[in-house]
Structure 1
Amino acid sequence: MGCRVAVRATRVELPLSASAVRPGCQTLVQGRLATRYPQQHTESVQIAADVIVRMTISHLILPADEQHLTAQRLATAALKLLQ
């Protein structure tokens, strides 16, 4: 299952369900975090990837009022998890 989400105006359509999309997205995020932060323990990277993917899905379903800050906040959360 890929990590693609179709967005139309303010409505988000997730293919199948978030649980079907999450494993592929988690693998993608985990790989990028592991490449960027090779000094981190595998478990820390797995936890950070899981939290970031779940938070991203949450923001897609229920967007924050300040949507332009969402990516920055997710990145900050990932860095905090890896400290």
Structure 2
Amino acid sequence: MACDPKIANRLKRAEGQIRGILKMMDDDKSCQEIMPQLMAVRSSVDKVMGLVVAENLRHCLDENGAESDEKIEEALKMITKL
């Protein structure tokens, strides 16, 4: 699966947030200051997961045949694991 530029940008943003959190921890910031940043990273990763599954599902729906049905079932299983 080729990386969609939108997904890559979101992951790079999350990477930057994580680096910021590490710096906050090195700077002995309080838990109250760090937790919102951690929640933002989690939300960002959740959105990326949704985009990846949606893209996979779109790809599966574009194909025809039994193999497509299997791929759609796999995509649905990924969604339920989210």
Q: TM class by shorter-chain length?
A: 0.3 to 0.5
> When you count helix as a share of all residues, which structure comes out higher?
2
TM-score, reference length from structure 2 = 0.36
Larger Rg: 2
TM-score by length of 1: 0.35
Structure having the larger proportion of residues in strand: 1
